[in-house]
Amino acid sequence: MNPHLQSFLEVFIAKRYRESRLHSAAKTSSAKKGNPLRGMDALYRELDERYCIPLPKGNQQQEIAFVRQALAKYKLATCYLLSAYESFNEQNMLVEEALEKIVGGSSTTIISFLLGVAYFEGHSVGDRYLCIKEVQ
């Protein structure tokens, strides 16, 4: 399984759903059945609310600004994308480029930083979450 996906599922999925999601993603990955993000359109319902906060509603530029501001203290330059969009899936990208391309696109996508920070964009409009779990 992709380490970015595994990390996201282990850290940001509510405990009651975690094992099922990890098993499903591992099965999809090992069988090479394709993109494990396809079929995860409702993943936002399983996010751990302690660490994943919905973005305030606004236009695309306002939402990008919110994410940019929240990520500023981490001084992140690059990220890794996992996406139902094949052209973005499993790509390294500059954070600014990823935000411009992903936020508001309404395709299940995870922008991963592997250090307890991620952005999740669900399939439906408004399913956008900033996921941060500070490591002690």
| Chain centre to alpha carbon of residue 69 | 17
Q: Residue 4 is encoded by which pair of tokens?
A: 């970015």
Report the first-to-last Cα separation within the chain, whole angstroms: 26
Q: What is the pLDDT of residues 17-59, one digit of tens each?
A: 999 989 888 887 665 667 878 777 788 999 999 999 998 888 8
Q: Assign 91 a pLDDT band (cuts: 50, 70, 90).
A: very high
Of 24-28, 42-46, 71-75, 86-90, which range is least confident? 24-28
Q: pLDDT tens digit string along 97-125?
A: 999 999 887 788 999 987 789 999 988 77
pTM, to two decimals: 0.88
